[in-house]
Structure 1
């Protein structure tokens, strides 16, 4: 494979990467070829030593997605970073199941927090509305107990929501660290310790 074939293949496999990033990557690989040619190596030899363009593109795309997820925090960006990371190796596929389970539990906790909050609001509103429309609302509970339970449910829902929010932040940071560590391992760098974010 000569330089042009290598660069076309690399560019084709970098479809999800913005044009500016593609230009930087293209410039870097042009430089690798220029240095290799100065050293008297053939384009085919340089391309062979660089590796398969498809594999390189997967790693570069995963790096880009991880950096994007780190700089712009959103569930969409972390999802894309996880999918790009899964595409790099079998080890990641094994851990995808537990990751999805943890995300599912987190969503269930958010739903529970929302349910407690709505129940509390309903109890408080029901207490007030019973005094206005006693013929339409039947509550066999003392209004003090009903109000207390409503306020308690609202407080519990809010506390759960805050806990879920902190858990989400922690999971986001740990997922980024894990993906970066996998990239380092795949690139042959030391990946034993998590990189500090």
Structure 2
């Protein structure tokens, strides 16, 4: 494979990156080719030492998506980072994707419980109204306050847990990319 073929294929595969990022990467690899040719290597030898442009593009895209998810925490960025990293290895599909989906399901269930604890007292008051005897009123009032308090504490704890899990998963994705790159 010649330098032109290598660069054309790499540029095409990096089409999902912003132009500035893609051009910087291509400039780096052009520099790599030029340095290798100064050392007396042929273009084919340099291309072989760099490896497959397809694998190289996957690694670069995964790294870019992880950096994007770190700098701008959002579900979309995290999803793109996950997809880019999963495409790097079959191991992730088998051993990581299943437990990750299970963990997301558990978090969603806890968020549903939190929402139920926060909303249920209002539903109780709308359905039954305020009872006439005072001891029933106090029991209902304290039950509702307990529900709102538990829901609030669980909600705060879940938000902190979700942020922590997000950071840990980003660390895993970075580790995974470095492992695949052989660093």
TM-score class, shorter-chain normalisation, is over 0.9
Q: Counterparts of 1:7 and 1:171 in 2: how far apart (Å)?
A: 38
Give runs of aligned pairs for residues 58-137 of structure 1, distance below 5 A. 58-94=58-94, 95-124=96-125, 129-130=129-130
Q: Deviations over 1:30-82 (max 9, x none)?
A: 10011011112111111111010000000000000011111111121111111
Q: Tell me what 1:195 maps to.
A: none
Gaps of 5+ in 2: none
Q: CA deviation at 1:7?
A: 0.9
Q: Counterparts of 1:175 and 1:77 in 2: how far apart (Å)?
A: 13
Q: Tell me what 1:9 maps to.
A: 9
4+ runs of 1 displaced by more than 2 Å? Answer: 120-127
Q: Does 1:161 align with 2:162?
A: no
Q: Counterparts of 2:32 and 2:125 in 1: how far apart (Å)?
A: 69
Larger RCO (CA under 8 A, 6+ residues apart): 2
Q: Counterparts of 2:112 and 2:76 in 1: how far apart (Å)?
A: 19
Q: Counterparts of 1:79 and 1:104 in 2: how far apart (Å)?
A: 15
Q: TM-score, normalised by structure 2?
A: 0.92
2:167 pairs, out of 156, 161, 173, with 173
More helix by share: 2
Gaps of 5+ in 1: 190-197
